Amino acid sequence: MNFLFSTGSLYTYGTERCFHLAARAGFDGIELMVDHRWDTRQPAYLRALVDRYELPVRAVHSPFGNVHGWPGGKPGLIAHAVRLAEDVGAHVVIHHLPQRVGSATVSVGGRRTRIPTPGLGAESEYRRWLLDGYARLQAETEVTLCIENMPARQFWGRRINGHYWNTVEDIQRFPSLTMDTTHLGTWGLDPMTVYDAWGERVRHIHLSNFDGYEHRLPEAGHLHLDWLLARLAGTGYDGDITFELHPDAARAGASDDKIVRALSKSLAACRSWAESGAGPRGASSNEGVEETAFDVVTGSR
């Protein structure tokens, strides 16, 4: 079981600095978050960092939006991310479910609020490609395409499901999944219960906690990630586990020593949890957690 550090956890930092901090903290490898910066997507440069810090790039996260020099649209971005993964020796490419609901920012009473815009901003072309072109791309590469479950969004106290197939059941139409634990937390779902439901489809994990805010350190939140990691070890999970944090959870802006101490402490805890056994069986790992599927549209059950 390898623990990776996502460069997206410190996306406000340079790529080499992320490698440097991850190496000091003791991670086994890197998940590369591709964005508009060329040093997140130039193979020769990335291979040099791999050699310099002795940290392999084991996973590549496809860009969130269009980037200069790559094709527009999610299908082209994912295909380019696959080529990059092949060039740097990564095993998986992570990408998101297609949006079914866009959003717009409005100003009401001097306050800016984001509101859902059903239909506007929906990724219909990407959705169609996932149905008819996705399998062809997977057949052309040994890199595993891992689609990621997405979070709930709150609007007037109700949960909004802004993505197609974003339920525990529907996402299983895809053969390989990235299970994001903090995203499950936004739905009130227990990651261990969902892992048991998805089984061998889980080929990659984004590990972070949830305390009302997403992407907290694994030990800092409502989710019992200790029990999840024990269960993963007990079931022989052989995929990678990425720390995907918000920069403030990773202590961005603090001294490098403080960042390394926080990350290494959290990493040591995770390794200890994974060594502890199979985890509890027959019970939820979090009292009061709802074990139902994601809401389809508004958060009604």
Q: What is the pLDDT of residue 300?
A: 28
Q: Which of 8, 17, 57, 40 is nearest to 260 (CA)?
A: 17
**Chain mean pLDDT for the chain:** 89
Nearest-angstrom CA–CA distance, 2 and 31 = 11
pLDDT for 236-268, tens place per residue?
Answer: 999 999 999 999 999 999 999 999 999 999 999
* Residue found by looking up tokens 């689609």 in the block: 147
Question: What is the DSSP secondary structure assignment for residue 40, as one 8-state letter?
Answer: G
What number is the average pLDDT over the span 196-220?
Answer: 97
Nearest-angstrom CA–CA distance, 80 and 143 = 12
**Domains located in the chain, CATH noted:** 2-274 (3.20.20.150)
Q: What is the pLDDT of residue 154?
A: 78
Q: What proportion of the chain, given as a percentage, has pLDDT over 90?
A: 79
Comparing 59 with 117, which gets the higher pLDDT?
Answer: 59
Q: Inform me whether the pLDDT recorded for 295 exceeds 70.
A: no
Q: Inform me whether the pLDDT recorded for 13 exceeds 90.
A: yes
215: left (phi > 0), else alpha (psi -120 to 50), else beta? left
Nearest-angstrom CA–CA distance, 179 and 231 = 14
pLDDT for 108-162, tens place per residue?
Answer: 666 665 555 555 456 899 999 999 999 999 999 999 999 999 999 877 778 889 9
Q: For the ranges 13-17, 177-181, 206-210, 287-291, which has the lowest average pLDDT?
A: 287-291
Q: Inform me whether the pLDDT recorded for 48 exceeds 80.
A: yes
pTM: 0.88
Q: What is the pLDDT of residue 157?
A: 76
Q: What is the pLDDT of residue 153?
A: 86
User: CB–CB of 80/71 below 8 Å?
Assistant: yes
Structure tokens at 72: 């527009």
What number is the average pLDDT over the span 264-278?
Answer: 92
For residue 168, name the pLDDT band (cuts at 50, 70, 90). very high
Nearest-angstrom CA–CA distance, 166 and 296 = 7
Nearest-angstrom CA–CA distance, 214 and 183 = 7
Q: Inform me whether the pLDDT recorded for 88 exceeds 70.
A: yes
Comparing 279 with 194, which gets the higher pLDDT?
Answer: 194
Q: Inform me whether the pLDDT recorded for 67 exceeds 90.
A: yes
Nearest-angstrom CA–CA distance, 171 and 191 = 15
